[in-house]
Chain A
Amino acid sequence: MSASTEPLIERPDDRPRPIRAAAAGSDRVFRGVLRGGGAAVLAITGLIAFFLIWRASSAFRQVGWSFLSTGIWLPDQNRFGVGSVLPNGLFIALIALVIAVPIGLMTALFISEYAPHRIRSALVSVVDLMAAIPSIVYALWGVFFLQPEILGTVRWVADHLGFIPFLRVPGGDTPSFFTSSTFMAGLVVSLMVIPIVISISREVFAQAPQGEREAAYALGSTKWGMIRTVVLPYGRGGMIGAIMLGFGRAMGETIAVSLLISPVWTIVTHVLATGGMSIPALIALRYGESTPEMIAALMAAGLVLFAVTLLVNALAGIIVTRSRSGAQTS
């Protein structure tokens, strides 16, 4: 049989014919138009960066590097910066992640591994719907329903776990000490992060290979043992990517934070106490101030936010794509 694999007739010049597709004129135009479409998307991103940098440059010239360290926001006195706004926004995003990631990952596991087939697609639809609900509607719910509901529990935590430094609420005697806090903002933002975490991680969980799953069962694993040794390791990249995309979303959430928060200009040390801020909320609350210097300062803040989220999202994108590399063809 081995003889049949050899060519019947020896021909030294038998190599594949070079295939060269000479594109017709119409195809060249077609590809040009498509390239134009791709270039337009790139151009828009470039334009965003260009216009933000250009409009923010006067603000950067005014205050220089102290823009990153100044906490207060007084553009008319030449004292402004993201020194407190950026970390406070980070705190809100981190709290949102602390709440959203466990709930999101657990729900994703339930949908992909445990949910009966009949209700699985319905659950997926519900999660998609959750992602489609406008953030302003979440904000309404958070401010008018969730905040009053949860105030008592927050107060209880502050009273009884106050020995942990950042959970203390100094002078917290009345409920007004606990509203509009960094924690409340993070809680509402977490509702918008949950669907992102669910949908991305559910996708990668579902891609865990069937053979390895069955191998785990054949070795006598329980369901959870199979998930722990097969599904979670395969989904690790996707989970990290989902968390980072959720983080980007939480950093950029505007409306809920600006409706809920009461602004402070120092770095928040007690997350349960009133006060907090984030860059998008700052822009939304202050854009009405129409002097050019103030607008330039807001543009500078926007530029910082743009840079941070673009970086986080690009990293997340790379991690998610890598994690899918085995499953994806073409």
Chain B
Amino acid sequence: MTTTLDAPKRVTTTRRRFRPRAVTADTVCALLGSAAGALGLTWLLYEAVLPLSGVLGFWLVAYVLFLGFYALVTAMTVGGRQAVVDRLVLVLLTSAALVVLAIIGNQIGYTIYRGWPALAHLGTFVTQTMALAGPLDPLTVGGILHAAVGSLEQMGIATAISVPLGVLAALFLAEVGGPGARIVRAIVEAMTALPEIIAGLFIYAMVILTFGLRQSGFAAALALTVMMIPFVTRSAEVMLRLVPGALREASLALGASQWRTAWLVVLPTARSGLTTAVVLAMARAIGETAPVLITAGFTQFLNANPFDGPQTSLPLYIYSYVRLPQATEIARAFGAGLMLMFLVLVLFTLARVLGGKEPHAK
């Protein structure tokens, strides 16, 4: 027996740290067991007892049974009304979130599935117009070039008008303030949820009926502008308010005037946030159908001049072709829908990438 001391062993405690929110085997078993029981009972009910049918009904019944079983199991293992309610709420809230995720996933997946036949002919689909494509022509003829051009031009014009105006109004709200700002803010809040169709109707009443312009891409762009201004104003104001007041005060204390402070300090600090706001507004504008429906007119020809003659955009293209009876036309509409969703997704991702930074002092 040597008396040399062993190196002190690392003490490993057998008691694990108690974590209040950890997923325990108990909960998992209760969930799985309830789910299995519910599925089994539902199957039995559907197959043998009740004269029921339908996939959705099956899952609804199974879900209700699952909730019941889970409540029962919790009551037996944990006990107490509070614990049962707490567990049930967790399950309910989680399933609501899962339903929302499923809706989005299903919606995107279905659009891809139905839009794929048209997009498979990508070469022709994005380089041709519908000028030569009759209703019975296959998907290899005709495309969305004219609608894509119209969408981009209208969105460009609407952005060029609404962004300066919206940012000015936001600067007014954030930098000047006062009782006037309160009224403007209330109106902007109310206008952000202005029904899309009213914007179109307004431009139709003003520009087309009163000023005598014909339906054109420019009129559509004006309608989109009406939709975009409140949106840009509100989100830009939020971004400007995130600029730390100390930066403003530092600038003023150095003797800068208010407009130099706004121009050289506030706006550059909020730049990434403002860009995000603008890009999100663009993503919204490109998908608007109703304002364009009344003001742009419909054509199957390429019209690159927004100031003269009808100009189709992607949403209008979808709306027009999806209501036709031919399967190929509906496939075209889904193809255009997929393109539209892709554009929105690109803009959305762009906004996320650009907006990664919060306004801060550099």
A-B contacts, CB under 8 A, total: 280
| In the assembled complex, A305 has its CB within 8 A of some CB on chain B | yes
| Closest Cβ neighbor of B340 among chain A residues | A134
Asked if B180 CB lies within 8 Å of chain A CBs, one says: yes
Given A34-B171, A153-B54, A280-B195, CB of A295 within 8 Å of CB of B100:
no
A284 cross-chain contacts in B, Cβ below 8 A? 197, 290, 293-294
Inter-chain contact A38/B184, CB cutoff 8 Å: yes
In the assembled complex, B85 has its CB within 8 A of some CB on chain A: yes
Q: Known contacts A110-B97, A133-B107, A134-B340; decide if A31 and B83 are in contact (CB<8 Å).
A: no
Q: Which of A20-42 contact B (CB under 8 A)?
A: 23-24, 26-27, 29-31, 33-38, 40-42
Q: B283 to A132, Cβ gap below 8 A?
A: yes
A41 touches B233 (CB 8 A): yes
Q: Is B172 an interface residue (CB 8 A)?
A: yes
A314 near B107: Cβ-Cβ < 8 Å: no
Q: A45 to chain B: closest CB distance in Å?
A: 5
A138 within 8 Å of B (CB atoms): yes
A295 touches B54 (CB 8 A): no
Interface footprint category on A: 35 or more
State which size class the interface on B falls in. Answer: 35 or more
Question: What mask results when residues 35 to 68 of chain B are scored 1 for a CB within 8 Å of chain A, else 0?
Answer: 0000000000000000011111100100000000
Q: Is the CB of B193 within 8 A of A245?
A: yes
Residues in A whose Cβ lies below 8 Å from that of B190: 310, 313-314, 317
A128 near B: Cβ within 8 Å?
yes
Check A152–B198 contact: CB distance below 8 A: no
- Across-interface contacts of A317 in B (CB, < 8 A): 186, 189-190
Q: Does B14 contact A (CB under 8 A)?
A: no
Residue of A nearest to B83 (CB): A222
CA distance A130 to B241 in the complex (A): 26
User: Chain B residues near A150 (CB, 8 Å)?
Assistant: 56
Q: Give the residue name and chain of the A residue nearest to B113 (CB).
A: A145
Bound-state CA distance A298–B205 (Å) is 11
Q: Taking the complex as formed, is B160 at the interface, i.e. its CB lies under 8 A from any CB of chain A?
A: no
Is B148's CB within 8 Å of the partner chain A? Answer: no
| Chain A residues within an 8 Å CB radius of B229 | 41, 44
Interface-located stretch among A5-13, A51-59, A207-215: A51-59
- Contact between chains at A110 and B101 (CB < 8 Å): no
Q: Are A106 and B289 closer than 8 Å at their CB atoms?
A: no
B111 touches A41 (CB 8 A): no
Given A126-B101, A134-B340, A309-B193, verify A42-B86 contact (CB < 8 Å).
no
Q: Does A299 contact B (CB under 8 A)?
A: yes
* B287:A135 contact, CB within 8 angstroms: yes
Q: Which of B176, B284, B323 is the most central at the interface, judged by chain A CB atoms within 10 Å of its CB?
A: B176
A163 at the interface (CB under 8 A from B): no
A42-B187 contact in complex given A135-B289, A153-B54, A259-B322, C-beta closer than 8 Å: yes
Distance from B244 Cβ to chain A, minimum over Cβ atoms (Å): 12
Q: Which residues of A contact B347 (CB under 8 A)?
A: 132
What 0/1 pattern do residues 249 to 282 of A give for CB contact below 8 A with B?
1011111000100000000000000000000100
Does B233 contact A140, Cβ atoms closer than 8 Å? no
Are B194 and A198 in contact, with the CB atoms below 8 A? no
| A52 engages B202 (CB within 8 Å) | yes
Is the CB–CB distance between A306 and B198 below 8 Å?
yes
B104 touches A130 (CB 8 A): yes
Nearest CB of A to B46, in Å: 12
Closest residue of B by beta carbon distance from A155: B54
Tell me, yes or no, whether B253 is within 8 Å of chain A by CB.
no
Is the pair B348, A224 in contact by a Cβ cutoff of 8 Å?
Answer: no
CB of A137 closer than 8 Å to a CB of B: yes
| CB under 8 Å from chain B, chain A span 79-104 | 102-103
| Chain B nearest CB, measured from A243 CB (Å) | 12
Q: Are B100 and A298 touching (Cβ within 8 A)? A: no
Chain A residues with CB under 8 Å of B103's CB are 130, 191, 194
CA distance A155 to B101 in the complex (A): 26
The interface residues of chain B lying within 8 Å CB-to-CB of A134 are: 286-289, 315, 340-341, 344
The 10 closest A-B pairs by CB, nearest first: A252-B195, A134-B287, A37-B168, A106-B96, A30-B259, A317-B189, A254-B290, A38-B172, A34-B172, A110-B93
Using a CB–CB cutoff of 8 Å, the interface residues on chain B facing chain A are: 52-57, 60, 82-83, 85-86, 89-90, 92-94, 96-97, 99-101, 103-104, 106-107, 110-111, 114, 165, 167-169, 171-173, 175-176, 180-181, 183-184, 186-199, 201-202, 204-206, 209-210, 226, 229-230, 233, 241, 257-260, 262, 280, 283-284, 286-290, 293-294, 315, 318-319, 322-323, 330, 333-334, 337, 340-341, 344-345, 347-348, 352
A-B pairs with beta carbons under 8 Å apart, 29 shown: A30-B257, A38-B180, A45-B191, A47-B202, A54-B205, A55-B205, A106-B93, A106-B96, A107-B93, A114-B90, A114-B94, A126-B104, A127-B100, A132-B280, A132-B283, A134-B315, A137-B107, A140-B114, A140-B337, A153-B54, A222-B86, A249-B193, A252-B196, A253-B195, A259-B322, A283-B294, A313-B190, A314-B190, A316-B193
Contacts A52-B201, A153-B57 known; 12 new A-B pairs at CB < 8 A = A38-B172, A38-B176, A45-B187, A47-B206, A103-B99, A106-B92, A106-B93, A123-B97, A135-B196, A223-B89, A252-B194, A306-B198
